[in-house]
Structure 1
Amino acid sequence: MQRLLRFLACGLMTLATASAFQIPASSTQCVVGTAKDWNTSYVILALWQRDGGGAWKQVGPTWSGRLGRDGLVWGRGMSPAPAGARLKSEGDWRAPAGVFSIGGAWGNDAAIKKKPGQFYRQVTSRDLWVEDPTSKDYNKNVILDHEPSTPWEKKQQMKQDDPAHKIKLFIAHNAAPRIVPGGGSSIFFHIWRADGAKPTAGCTTMQEDKLRWLISNIDPSRNPVYVLLPAAEYQAKRTEWKLP
């Protein structure tokens, strides 16, 4: 877990001014999600990589996913939000837009197919993901030294009996070391519901086989990032931010 936090901290330390931001040169792997507009819950996803020459190349075909029920809103990640823009808040039913470090997987399996160095934890009944903005552990994985007993502990438990959460990959929105209380928590790639018929509360979801393929290809040594934007915003930022 400490290794994961160090990786995410390195990504978040690349925050810059709006006029200077670019995807870091060290980030050679990028998941791109583009939505029709700010208010849709549908997204098209693709995996891109760049090698020595610096040119981005798409890995495999695009695939479909779902976002927050009410669409997108600027998130707290590596990229700056426009001055005065509305930012994601806890319970707003919107997916965070911008550029985010990604990495760290949780699930029910004893082991998963993954790249060397990728953090993975098998979830137990003692695993919490804290969504209470008043807690010092907000938006963190907490592992209890006892079985959950209080109503608060049980409310924060990671879901083991929910098929949509049996495997997930962390999206570092509002993540350590720059966590804003109430700024939104528990943002992951995970399995979609009802074969894609249902939106999310803010996560990015997809078919299980696509998610497992994505997790197996995400390489921590490439400092992978997730770019999620409406299509028009993506095109406007593409050159400036050096997007795929």
Structure 2
Amino acid sequence: MTVRKALALVIGAAVCTGVLGTGCARQQADASLQDAHAPGGSAAQPVSPRPAPPRHFPRPLPGVGPVMRDLLPSGTRQALVVTGESETSSQARVVLYERDPAQGWRAVTGPWSAHNGLRGWTDDHEAGDLHSPIGVFGLSDAGGRLPDPGSLLPYDEDPEFAVSGTGHLGEPLEGSFDYVIAIDYNRVPGTTPLDLTRPEGEDKGGGVWIHVDHDGPTNACVSLSEEHMRALLTAVDPDKEPVVVMGPREVLAR
């Protein structure tokens, strides 16, 4: 054998050994990797728990704090929120909200401009004090001088809803009671708004309505434009146990 042939055999053997060694190492690595992923494998890594999904809470009634929210009946799914600018203001903002069991409260009509009592608001209303009462009251009956526009509440069309004279700013009152919704303050729910029964006595006043605006402050009522009164009458649904939540902004927010 020549020196050249001997050298070729040595180099070939070395190359084969390196290739075989590489192949074995790869097989061993693959086997180890499989062991690591096998159940009970000594090299198995712990699985990190998935992050908890974010929690979503139902939206609370906007602008209404916990004190007033606690006065809402448990079955109520409609709330007309009348927010006065201040305790002495006769101007207010009105929004009708509905409650979805999962999503919470959402606005369905408004915001609308409104008037309230000439001297603002009180939590101890008395007859003739020219304040609107603060609180949460049911909405159960409607009526007016004009025919029913499609009210979901029981509607009493009656010529006795006629009114005349002038308001506190000298504005004409005619047509103010064309459409009304009775606020269940010191009255018997389930009767016409014209019913004069006062369960808490005459001194506590009564006849507090939502009615057509006459471009000025009221004695105690809340007034909206005729267009918005028609919209409200066709939206307030007795099956949703509707209420009005009314008062000045700082009181409602408590």
TM-score, normalised to structure 1, is 0.65
Question: What is the distance in 2 between the residues matched to 1:218 and 1:186?
Answer: 19
Question: What is the distance in 1 between the residues matched to 2:69 and 2:238?
Answer: 25
Deviation at 1:54, TM superposition (A): 6.0
Residue 22 of structure 1 aligns to a residue in which SS?
coil
Q: Which amino acid aligns with 1:231?
A: R
Does the alignment pair 1:49 with 2:98? yes
Aligned to 1:129: none
Question: What is the distance in 1 between the residues matched to 2:68 and 2:241?
Answer: 22
2:157 to 100, 104, 122: 122
Question: What is the distance in 2 between the residues matched to 1:209 and 1:108?
Answer: 15
Q: Is this contact kept in 1: 2:140–2:182, CA < 8 A? A: yes
% same residue? 23
Q: Which amino acid aligns with 2:219?
A: A
Q: Is this contact kept in 2: 1:124–1:160, CA < 8 A? A: no
Aligned to 1:63: 112
Label 1:22 to 1:93 Cα distance change in 2 as closer, same or farther (>3 A): closer
Residue 214 of structure 1 aligns to a residue in which SS?
helix
Aligned to 1:180: 201
Gaps of 5+ in 2: 1-66, 165-173, 189-197
2:149 to 112, 118, 130: 112
Aligned to 1:94: 131
Residue 232 of structure 1 aligns to a residue in which SS?
helix
Label 1:173 to 1:38 Cα distance change in 2 as closer, same or farther (>3 A): same
| Map 1:213-228 → 2, pairs under 5 A | 213-228=231-246
Q: Which amino acid aligns with 1:55?
A: G
Label 1:67 to 1:20 Cα distance change in 2 as closer, same or farther (>3 A): closer
Runs of 4+ with deviation above 6 angstroms: none
1:40 to 65, 89, 95: 89
Deviation at 1:182, TM superposition (A): 1.2
2:223 to 189, 195, 205: 205
1:164 to 159, 176, 192: 176
Label 1:93 to 1:34 Cα distance change in 2 as closer, same or farther (>3 A): same
Label 1:50 to 1:164 Cα distance change in 2 as closer, same or farther (>3 A): same
Residue 34 of structure 1 aligns to a residue in which SS?
strand
Label 1:175 to 1:51 Cα distance change in 2 as closer, same or farther (>3 A): same
Residue 26 of structure 1 aligns to a residue in which SS?
coil
Question: What is the distance in 2 between the residues matched to 1:203 and 1:19?
Answer: 20
Q: Which amino acid aligns with 2:179?
A: I
Q: Is this contact kept in 1: 2:135–2:247, CA < 8 A? A: yes
Give the number of equivalent residue pairs.
Answer: 170
Note the alpha carbon deviations across 1:140-160, whole angstroms, 9 max, x for none: xxxxxxxxxxxxxxxxxx426
Deviation at 1:60, TM superposition (A): 3.1
Deviation at 1:30, TM superposition (A): 0.3
Q: Is this contact kept in 1: 2:68–2:136, CA < 8 A? A: no
Question: What is the distance in 1 between the residues matched to 2:144 and 2:204?
Answer: 25
> Which structure carries more relative contact order (alpha carbon 8 Å, separation 6+)?
1
Label 1:41 to 1:188 Cα distance change in 2 as closer, same or farther (>3 A): same
| Map 1:5-44 → 2, pairs under 5 A | 21-44=70-93
Q: Is this contact kept in 2: 1:123–1:160, CA < 8 A? A: no
Residue 165 of structure 1 aligns to a residue in which SS?
coil
